[in-house]
Structures are given as C-alpha cells and as structure tokens.
C-alpha cells in the first residue's frame, strides 16, 4: 500500500541536496562558536507547589520543546524528550526536572516525529497513563510500541478531553524517522483551550502564513514559540524560524495581550546557532518592535510560571 505523503501549505518543501549539506559542513568548520556558555537553570524549582497544584495555570520549561503544563487540573506534556544525546551529539543542557519529579501525566501532545520531539525511551518512563494526541500517520508506530490511548490528528481537527479542547494546527516543517518514511506522518502545533486560558504550542516550524490564520481562529493567551536551530539561514529557513521571524509570527497571531515564551534553543546542537545567540537576537527584535517587556517571558530551564485567577 502506498503511504500518504504530507505537505506544507502552498506546496513549500525542504528540498536540500547532498551538495547543500556539504556546503553547510564546510561553513561550520570555518565558524568559531562558544558552546561552553550554558543557559541558566532555575535557582529554585517549585516541584512541591506544582505537584500539589490542582487549579492554577502553570507551565514549566523542561528544556528544548518540552513543557510541563497544568491547565484546568490536567497535567500535560509537550514533545517530552529527556534524551541525553541526539545522534552523536551530547545534550548541552540537562533537563530542568527529572522524570521522577513529575506527577502523573494526563495528556501528551506530539508536534511531529523527529527524534528531538518524539523519544520513545522517554515516553516509557512517564508516570501515569497519559492520553497521546499525535499527528496523523504516527498512530500505527505508537501502537507497535504498545501505546493504545492514541488519537491521530489532521490540521484543524479538534478533540475534547476531560474539559479541555485540543486543536491541531498547521506548521511549516517536515519529518522523518528512517530512510523510508519521509513525510509519511504529519507535523503541526497544538492549541490547548481551557475554560479561561488558551495556549498555543507552535511545535517546530519555519515562518509561514499559517500564523495569521491561527490568530484569526483563536484568542491566544500564551504562545510557546521556537527561536533556535536557524543557522545557516539559507539552509534552515524553510523549516526553522529565526528569532526575528518568531516575533513577527507572534504579531501575526494578533494576540497583543499574549505572553511569548521562547523554546527550541540551547538543548541540542541541531544547527550552528547557540542558545545565547538566539536569546540575544530575540531581545533585540522585541525591543526594535517596542513590545512590552512584561509580554516576553524567558524561562530558565526548570523554571515554573504560575498564573492564578
């Protein structure tokens, strides 16, 4: 049976060649990058307060694209990855919390199948019996791994689960886990809609017109937006967003009261930029747009933000 191949909006494709890869590798050898400056870890982890929380909205940055979110009494993980390596590269910054510090997980949302966003050894260690919401095309893989509480999603589909609504929304990316499964599963972001708060987890994405449509459909209170893995930009720009375009994407959402929380930087060396470089460019772009400081929430690894009614 021929497997379906998923595509981006407007037919945008990542079509780099082996020659492009060689060019990138040559450029990397010519660069001097400081990989010794780590991102800050939270000075005080609020593990006990979070574990006992049953009502307030909270989100904790574990690292990379992994957030532990508490929404309307549910414990939610986004793209949970605690892996110490990605390919041949060691993780640059340790996860902010150990898996053993987590309470039972109710929901896991997956943005796509790349290994830095979908790590089955991590899933096997999660406490509780979470329901998994995954892009279309990944369900069979989950079931082969022994996970049966799995819901597959296509763009703009919505699911209700224990009082919240989960919307799978477009992103501009691609995916692959082997030599034979290029784009045979989808990719996207998740909008988590609670009783009083709506959160948008953008997943992994380049800059694209979809941000405007997402903003037209939802009034978003918190945006989890990638800012890293953008260099060299001639190679990465289709699939990864740079800090300046991440700020533009935030503006495209037309949710001016929303809080911007950056992610997807500083954990793995997926490209040539570093975590401190990504943050410096983000702060500069935010200031150039004269956006309110209180709307930018840069978390230390392991830091928790509470929003109480």
> Which helix or strand (DSSP H or E) is residue 153 part of?
strand 150-153
Q: Which CATH class is domain 39-307?
A: alpha beta
Q: Where are the domains of the chain?
A: 39-307
φ and ψ at residue 209, rounded to 5 degrees: -70, -15
Contacts of residue 203, defined as CB under 8 A and 6 or more positions apart, other chains included, come to 65, 79, 111, 112, 117, 171, 173, 187, 188, 189, 190, 226
Q: CA angle, corner 133, sides to 164 and 238, nearest 5?
A: 110
Residue range 252-288, pLDDT digits in tens: 999 878 999 999 999 999 999 999 999 999 999 999 9
Note down pLDDT in tens along the chain; length 309 residues. Answer: 557 999 999 999 988 888 988 898 888 888 888 888 889 999 999 999 999 998 999 999 999 999 999 999 999 999 999 999 998 889 999 999 999 999 999 999 999 999 999 999 999 999 999 999 999 999 999 999 999 999 999 999 999 999 999 999 999 999 999 988 999 999 999 999 999 999 999 999 999 999 999 999 999 999 999 999 999 999 999 999 999 999 999 999 998 789 999 999 999 999 999 999 999 999 999 999 999 999 999 999 999 999 876
Rounded to the nearest angstrom, the gap between the alpha carbon of residue 184 and the centroid of all alpha carbons in its chain is: 20
CA distance 102 to 298: 22
């Amino acid at each position: 049976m021929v497997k379906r191949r998923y595509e981006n909006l407007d037919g945008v494709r990542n079509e780099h060649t082996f020659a492009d890869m060689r060019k990138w590798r040559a450029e990397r050898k010519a660069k001097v990058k400081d990989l010794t400056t780590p991102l800050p870890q939270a000075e005080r982890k609020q593990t006990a307060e979070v574990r006992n929380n049953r009502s307030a909205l909270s989100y904790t940055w574990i690292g990379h694209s992994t957030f532990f979110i508490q929404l309307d009494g549910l414990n939610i993980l986004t793209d949970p990855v605690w892996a110490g390596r990605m390919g041949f590269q060691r993780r640059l910054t340790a996860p902010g919390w150990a898996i053993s510090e987590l309470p039972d997980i109710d929901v896991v949302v997956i943005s796509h199948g790349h290994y830095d966003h979908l790590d089955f050894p991590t899933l096997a260690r999660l406490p509780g019996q979470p329901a998994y919401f995954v892009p279309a095309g990944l369900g069979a893989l989950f079931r082969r791994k022994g996970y049966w509480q799995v819901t597959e999603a296509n763009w703009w589909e919505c699911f209700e689960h224990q009082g919240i609504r989960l919307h799978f929304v477009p992103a501009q990316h691609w995916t692959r886990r082997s030599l034979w499964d290029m784009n045979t599963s989808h990719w996207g972001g998740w909008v988590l809609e609670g009783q009083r708060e709506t959160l948008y987890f953008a997943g992994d994405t380049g800059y694209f017109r979809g941000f405007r449509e997402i903003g037209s459909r939802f009034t978003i209170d918190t945006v989890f937006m990638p800012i890293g893995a953008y260099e060299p930009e001639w190679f990465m720009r289709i699939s990864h967003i740079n800090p300046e375009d991440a700020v533009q994407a935030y503006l495209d959402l037309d949710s001016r009261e929303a809080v911007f929380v950056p992610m997807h930087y500083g954990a793995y060396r997926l490209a040539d930029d570093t975590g401190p470089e990504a943050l410096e460019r983000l702060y500069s772009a935010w200031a150039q747009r004269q956006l309110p400081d209180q709307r930018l929430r840069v978390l230390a690894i392991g830091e928790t933000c509470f929003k109480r009614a």
